[in-house]
């Protein structure tokens, strides 16, 4: 009942920036928190950042803290991930996710997922 569509992925040089967007539709009032994940080849899915939609409080993984910023525009039903100082190690498929409960921390269980968007960082 909730649909998530990511956009903004692509190819970027090391040190560059990208902004990912996630448009939410459907029963969006059931969503309490949202987050960004990524999965690189041969690795487990990793939570990068989460946000509580009402208060805007955030969580960041150590691997992206200081480089990535999660934000939301509640009026536009859109989630963003601003990625700066990108490294080749950031190359992965990036996913937007939404949770019916929780505050976007690692303990949050996510219920809905987008299709993913490829981010490739060249050296």
Is residue 97 exposed (0-12), middle (13-18) or buried (19+ Cβ within 10 Å)? buried
Q: Is the dihedral of CA 103, 104, 109, 112 positive or negative?
A: positive
Q: Using one digit for the tens of pLDDT, what is the confidence trace for 9-25?
A: 999 999 999 999 999 99
pLDDT of res. 36: 98
Q: Using one digit for the tens of pLDDT, what is the confidence trace for 92-101?
A: 999 999 999 9
């Amino acid at each position: 009942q909730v649909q998530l569509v990511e956009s903004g992925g692509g190819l970027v040089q090391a040190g560059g920036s990208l902004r990912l967007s996630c448009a939410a539709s459907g029963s969006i009032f059931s969503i309490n928190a949202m987050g960004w994940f990524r999965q690189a080849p041969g690795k487990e899915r990793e939570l990068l950042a989460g946000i509580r939609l009402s208060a805007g409080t955030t969580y960041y993984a150590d691997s992206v803290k200081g480089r990535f910023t999660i934000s939301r525009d509640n009026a536009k039903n859109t989630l963003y991930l601003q990625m700066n100082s990108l490294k080749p190690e950031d190359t992965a498929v990036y996913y937007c996710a939404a949770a019916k409960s929780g505050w976007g921390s690692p303990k949050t269980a996510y219920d809905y997922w987008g299709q993913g968007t490829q981010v490739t960082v060249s050296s």
